Each structure stands twice: as C-alpha cells, then as structure tokens.
C-alpha cells in the first residue's frame, strides 16, 4: 500500500509566434526550407551585426498575455542568456530575465467528460525570446560531429510558465489542450508540435503525506514530450516512478540535484538525460544592443479589448443562448472560431440551437472530416443550410430526405430549392395527399383496425407505404391525415 501523496506539476511551454519574419532580423520563419537558407548576418551572429526587434512579434505576445489575463508591463527589456552550444551562434540567447513583458494570469481548465472539476491554473509569466538553431548531432557515433541548421535561429518564441498548480497528468493534458485552443483562436501560433512550433517541458514531484508531515520529493524535469498524450503518459509514469524511488531511498527535495529525464514514448519510460555541457550559470544581464520596449496603458487596454471571446466564454454563450449541453458546446468551440461563427449563423437563422448543433456535428463536421477540408472550404453556407433546416423543422422533409438534399447541395454547390428540384422533390398538393391516404386506408383494413383499437403507432406502416408510392410526401402530413380519416370512419 503506497503512501498518500499529491502530484505537483508545472509546465513550461514554448510557442513559436506566427510572424513572417524572425524576432530580430528580416529572415523568413517558414518551416521546412533547405538548411541554412533562411539566415542572414544578424541571425547567424556575425560580428558587428545588431538586432532590431520585430514589433509584430511583441504585439502577438501582448495579445496572448491579454487573453491569458496576465499583467502586462509598460516597460520591458531584453537580457542575454549566455551559454555555449553549436546551435546558438552568438553564444547567448536574447531572452527576458527579471522584467518579462507579462506576469501572472492563468487559464481555467475544464474537462468536457467531467472527470475533473474545472480548475484555474495560474501562470508565473509569459516572456519572449529568440529560438536557437537545430543541431543534428551524430551522438550514436560518440564523436558529436554536428551539422547545424540555423533556419530556426532567431524565430520568435514565447515561453509560458505555469505555477505548479497542476495536480494530475490528465489536468496537464487538458491545460495544454485549452492553451493550444486559446492560441489558435488568437491566431498567434499554429501550435504544430510536429514542426516544433509548440514544445512542452514538465516539472513534476510528489508531496508525500508522512503522518501529517508533507515531504516533497526531488523535482524532475521531463523533456522530449512530442504530443499532449505523451505529456500525460510521461507524467503518469513519472509519478509512479518517483513514488517508488522515494519509498526506496527516502530522498527529499534538495538531497539530489534537479534531474532531467527524457521521455521515450515508444518504450513508455523516462530515462535520465546526459548532463548538459554548459553550467547552469547563464550570467544574465541586460542586452546593451537593444533598447527597452515600452507600451502605453492605452495600448494595453486596446490589446485586452481586441482579445474578443475566448473559448471558455464561447462555450458558456453556446450553452446559455442556445441551450447546448457541455459536450456539444465543447465539440463546436474546439472546432475553431470559424466553425463557431458558422454555428452561430446557422442557429440564429434556423431559430433552433439544438437542431443546428445536431446537423453541424452529425453532418457538416463529418463531411469536413471525410473531405479533409475546413469549414471555410465547405460548399454549403450557413444561410443555405438554415433554409434546409427550416424545411426539416416544418416537416416538409424528414431527416433522411434532408440528408439527401444536403448531399446534393454539397456535391453541386446548389441551394435547397435547386437541390430538391434536382432530386425531383416537389410538394404534393393537399387534395392529392388526401386521395393517397384514402387509397391506403382502403387497402389496409388490418392496420386501420389496429389504429382503431388504440395502437396509433401502427399508422407508421401507412407512412412507409405512402413514401413508396410518392417519395415527396410529407410524412407528418400523411400521418395526420390518415389518423383524421380513420377517426372519422
């Protein structure tokens, strides 16, 4: 029986900002170019060159800080973080040390499956820095011959550091999911983990309850986390491993130096990483080549006003104004701002949020998925779909027939009327409908008897027959007329 304990997790997230050019020079930040083709004397640190701040990167960072409810400093400066590494051409990284552009703030984490209660995860800071290049080490050969690609060197990077407020690996994953969604909504990053535009390191230790005394175990930093799922798995593994180590050695925080472990997702284990060559004394000092950055209170207020509705606020609105459940609002909001806008227009025009949500999730999103397109590329406008929904709601079309019409609209980019016409759907006039119903009643005395005996459900068979004779009949109308006629017999 293991000792009662709490898991303490803090995250450090590096996000590449979606600027066209680098943080301190004009080079492109496009991913995937030939190595060392997106470089210039400034970003390869040639002697005599000087950095010039990309104001756009700073603005995107401020927008993010505003969305994360951070305090934004009116005065911020750049510092040099000095260390040697082949992918760092100046042998220092321009970063922010004691006066980051923003501090505090936080993000509410919720779980659509409601495995956990919503929790507010506080942030320590968000700061800006330049990315390093990429070393392509031949470590297996043990000779560390390296080739270096400096295309990435100088790309604007925003570092988000949380307080150690996260208590479970699941919470860590949910936090990251929500953070990524916020960043995507803001348009500040593409958050592509495969291309390295979002990178996560996690710090984890345990608070073990020793008969009322809380004992903290040594903090471990986990790196090489290549997906949110990997973060969750690595932390689950690490929590168990640390408890084992604690029960075996009794090591407390401070007894051993902070350890860095790399996560091997395929093997499902973490491994101690080789010590870095450089010492951890980064000799930070203000970068004398860059003037401090100032922003006015008015500009900060404008940035806050420009944030707009954040995902959590949108979910709440969908639930409040359109009566959606938590699961549905989550699916729609997680689909991105464009999908939400589509939904809002659809629901407004159709006057029915739940109907709009059903069609959006079951039909539209499926089509997007099947065709691998975005809502912006979807050929049926919200207005057109709303017309279709009105016909379904009015009983003119049943759900299946409505789907046929939508498929035709998707395939040919037609409006509802045109699609119905092409499918040969036309409204059947009342006299013809009554005549059809009389005919069916005459031909089905057994069903009529069942209905008369109180089994109203039996009328469904009449509807089926009516549809076989004329696919365009309104099933609701058929049912109503048949029941009226039988009643009158």
Partner 1 sequence: MFIPHESATDLVALIHSGDLTAVEVTTALLERIERHDASLQAMLRVDNQAALAQAEAIDARRRRGEPLGSLAGVPVAVKDNMCTRGEATTCASRMLEPFVPPYDATVIGRLREAGAVVIGKTNLDEFAMGSTTENSAFGVTRNPWDPERVPGGSSGGSAASVAAGFAPLALGSDTGGSIRAPAALCGVTGMKPTYGRVSRYGLVAFASSLDQIGPFGRSAADVAVLLETIAGHDPADTTSVDVPVPRYSESVSRPLENLRIGWVKEHFGAGIGDDVAAAVREAIRTYESLGASVREVSLPHAKYSIAVYYVIAPCEASSNLARFDGVHYGMRTDEAVMRAELDDERARLEKAGDERGLADMDTAMVRLYRKTRAEGFGPEVKRRIMLGTYALSSGYYDAYYKRALQVRRLIREDYDRAFAEVDMIVGPVTPTTAFRLGERVDDPLSMYLFDLYTCGANLAGLPGISLPCGFDGQGLPIGLQLQAAPFEEEKLLRAAHMYQTATDWHTRRPELA
CB 478 within 8 A of CB 460: no
Q: Does 80 bind partner 1 (CB under 8 A)?
A: yes
Work out which of 20, 283, 294, 455 binds partner 1, going by CB under 8 A. 283
Stretch that binds partner 1, among 85-93, 155-163, 203-211, 259-267 (CB under 8 A): 85-93
Residues 6+ apart with CB under 8 A from 473: 428, 433, 436, 466, 467
Q: How near is the Cβ of 41 to partner 1 at its closest, in Å? A: 6
Closest to Zn ion by CB, 45 vs 336, is 45
Q: Does 146 bind partner 1 (CB under 8 A)?
A: yes
Q: Does 373 bind partner 1 (CB under 8 A)?
A: no
Q: Does 136 bind partner 1 (CB under 8 A)?
A: no
Q: Does 291 bind partner 1 (CB under 8 A)?
A: yes
Q: Does 273 bind partner 1 (CB under 8 A)?
A: no
Q: How near is the Cβ of 146 to partner 1 at its closest, in Å? A: 7
CA contacts within 13 A on the Cβ side of 444: 22
Binding string, residues 28-57; x marks residues near partner 1 by CB under 8 A = -------------x--xxxxxxxxxx----
Stretch that binds partner 1, among 207-215, 278-286, 344-352, 464-472 (CB under 8 A): 278-286
Stretch that binds partner 1, among 104-112, 208-216, 220-228, 276-284 (CB under 8 A): 276-284
Q: How near is the Cβ of 278 to partner 1 at its closest, in Å? A: 9
Stretch that binds partner 1, among 78-86, 215-223, 259-267, 303-311 (CB under 8 A): 78-86
Work out which of 86, 112, 262, 379 binds partner 1, going by CB under 8 A. 86
CB 214 within 8 A of CB 252: no
Beta bridge partners of 203: 10, 221
- Distance (Å, whole) CA 401 – CA 379: 19
Q: Considering only residues 73-112, where is the footprint of Zn ion by CB under 5 A?
A: none
Work out which of 136, 285, 376, 435 binds partner 1, going by CB under 8 A. 285
Q: How far is C-alpha 104 from the geometric centre of its chain's CA atoms?
A: 22
Q: How near is the Cβ of 273 to partner 1 at its closest, in Å? A: 15
Work out which of 281, 370, 377, 487 binds partner 1, going by CB under 8 A. 281
Q: Which does 289 bind (CB under 5 to 8 A by kind): partner 1, Zn ion, none?
A: partner 1
Closest to Zn ion by CB, 40 vs 368, is 40
CB 130 within 8 A of CB 94: yes
Q: Does 89 bind partner 1 (CB under 8 A)?
A: yes
Task: Compute φ and ψ for 216, nearest 5 degrees.
Answer: -90, 135
Stretch that binds partner 1, among 280-288, 317-325, 371-379, 391-399 (CB under 8 A): 280-288
Q: Other C-beta atoms within 10 Å of 102: how many? A: 26
Q: Considering only residues 9-48, where is the footprint of Zn ion by CB under 5 A?
A: 25, 27, 40, 42-43
- Under rule CB under 8 A, how many of the chain's residues touch partner 1? 33
Closest to Zn ion by CB, 27 vs 340, is 27
Q: Which does 27 bind (CB under 5 to 8 A by kind): partner 1, Zn ion, none?
A: Zn ion
Q: Which does 417 bind (CB under 5 to 8 A by kind): Zn ion, partner 1, none?
A: none
Q: How near is the Cβ of 63 to partner 1 at its closest, in Å? A: 22
Q: Can you give the binding site for Zn ion, defined by CB under 5 A?
A: 25, 27, 40, 42-43
List residues near partner 1 by CB under 8 A.
41, 44-53, 80, 82, 84, 86, 89-92, 143-146, 148, 277, 281, 283-285, 288-291
């Amino acid at each position: 029986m293991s000792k009662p304990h709490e898991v303490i997790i803090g995250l450090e997230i590096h996000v590449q900002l979606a600027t066209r050019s680098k943080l301190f020079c004009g080079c492109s930040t496009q991913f995937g170019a030939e190595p060392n083709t997106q470089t210039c004397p400034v970003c390869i640190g040639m002697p005599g060159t000087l950095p010039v701040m990309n104001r756009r990167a700073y603005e995107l960072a401020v927008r993010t800080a505003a969305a994360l409810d951070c305090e934004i400093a009116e005065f911020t400066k750049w510092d040099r973080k000095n260390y040697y590494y082949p992918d760092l051409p100046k042998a220092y990284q321009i970063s922010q040390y004691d006066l980051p552009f923003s501090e505090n703030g936080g993000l509410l984490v919720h779980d659509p499956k409601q495995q956990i209660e919503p929790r507010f995860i506080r942030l320590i800071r968000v700061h800006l820095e330049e990315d390093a290049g990429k070393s392509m080490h031949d470590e297996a050969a043990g000779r560390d011959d390296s080739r270096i690609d400096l295309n990435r060197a100088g790309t604007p990077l925003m570092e988000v550091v949380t307080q150690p407020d996260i208590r479970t690996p699941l919470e860590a994953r949910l936090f990251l999911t929500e953070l990524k969604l916020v960043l995507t909504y803001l348009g500040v990053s593409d958050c592509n983990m495969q291309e390295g535009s979002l990178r996560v390191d996690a710090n984890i230790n345990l608070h073990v309850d020793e008969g009322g005394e809380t004992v903290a175990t040594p903090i471990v930093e986990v790196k090489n986390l290549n997906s949110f799922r990997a973060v969750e798995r690595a932390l689950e593994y690490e929590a168990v491993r640390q408890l084992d180590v604690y029960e075996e050695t009794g090591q407390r925080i401070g007894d051993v130096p902070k350890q860095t472990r790399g996560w091997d997702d395929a093997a499902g284990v973490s491994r101690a990483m080789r010590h870095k060559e450089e010492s951890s004394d980064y000799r930070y000092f203000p970068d004398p080549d860059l003037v401090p950055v100032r922003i006015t209170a008015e500009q900060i207020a404008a940035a806050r006003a420009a944030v707009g509705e954040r995902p959590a606020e949108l979910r709440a609105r969908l639930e409040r104004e359109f009566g959606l459940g938590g699961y549905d609002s989550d699916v729609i909001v997680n689909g991105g701002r464009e999908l939400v806008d589509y939904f809002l227009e659809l629901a407004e025009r159709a006057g029915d949020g739940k109907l709009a949500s059903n069609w959006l999730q079951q039909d539209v999103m499926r089509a997007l998925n099947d065709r691998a397109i975005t809502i912006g590329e979807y050929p049926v406008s919200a207005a057109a779909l709303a017309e279709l929904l009105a016909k379904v709601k009015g009983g003119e079309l049943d759900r299946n027939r409505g789907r046929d019409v939508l498929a035709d609209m998707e395939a040919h980019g037609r409006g509802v009327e045109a699609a119905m016409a092409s499918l040969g759907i036309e409204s059947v006039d009342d006299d013809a409908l009554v005549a059809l119903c009389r005919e069916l009643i005459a031909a089905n005395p057994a069903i009529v008897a069942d209905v008369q005996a109180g089994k109203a459900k039996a009328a469904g068979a009449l509807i089926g027959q009516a549809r076989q004779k004329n696919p365009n009949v309104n099933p609701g109308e058929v049912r109503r007329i048949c029941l009226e006629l039988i009643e009158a017999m």
